Amino acid sequence: MSSFPSSRVWSAAVLAAALLTGCNRDKPNAPTPAPAPKAAAPASPAPRAATTKPASAAPAAASTAFRVTAVTLGHAVDDAHKVTAPGTRFTPEEKTIYAAVATTGSTRAATIGARWNYLEGAGQLITSVSQRLATDGPAITTFTLQNPDLWPEGKYNVEISVDGKAAATEAFEVAKAK
């Protein structure tokens, strides 16, 4: 088995904040009542599935907590930094792999991190990058992984974190085209 080739890795993060319209900013927000306790609640909440769709731009009444709502891997992105060619299978010749991280909620300063891993053999961290952001609504942060050489075939993943806490993991594969 060959070792992972050295790679030039670039990261790009883009903030797309959508301000909610129609909010009455003159009145202070009333506190949201706490939900009733549930029997046998887990010690910690399960991570959100990476297939969850991003929240719409409509006003959210329930929560403004900042969180990851989706991670989309793909071959290309548009000007809004959304993945236009989604996929989890890449060829060794592809030079760039994109991970678009959709978030919702508000934050004055959060750090979104992406750890790209090669999982074959003993596994290997390819790179770890992060981006600080502030947003008042839905946003997309795009991370790119580039390699001027051929990618080794095998299984990979990208682990997304918010302020150092795991938020989502998305698996992908590099294999020759069928």
Q: What DSSP assignment string belongs to 135-173? A: ESS-EEEEEEEE-SSPPPSEEEEEEEEETTEEEEEEEEE
Is residue 93, in this structure, part of any structural domain at all? yes
Reported as a single tens digit per residue, the pLDDT across 107-127 is: 999 999 999 999 998 889 999
41, part of any domain = no
The predicted-structure confidence for 21-61, as pLDDT tens digits, reads as follows 222 223 333 333 444 333 333 332 323 323 233 344 444 44
The reported pTM is: 0.65
Q: What residue numbers bound the domain in which 85 lies?
A: 67-174
In a domain, 48, yes or no: no
Instruction: Say if 30 falls within a structural domain.
Output: no
Predicted confidence (pLDDT) per residue in 128-152, tens digit = 999 999 999 999 999 999 999 999 9
Which pLDDT band, with edges at 50, 70 and 90, does 15 fall under?
very low
**Total domains present in the chain:** 1
**Residue 168 falls within a domain, yes or no?**
yes
Question: Does residue 146 sit within a domain?
Answer: yes
Look up the CATH number of the domain holding residue 101.
2.60.40.10
Residue 47 lies inside a defined structural domain of this protein:
no
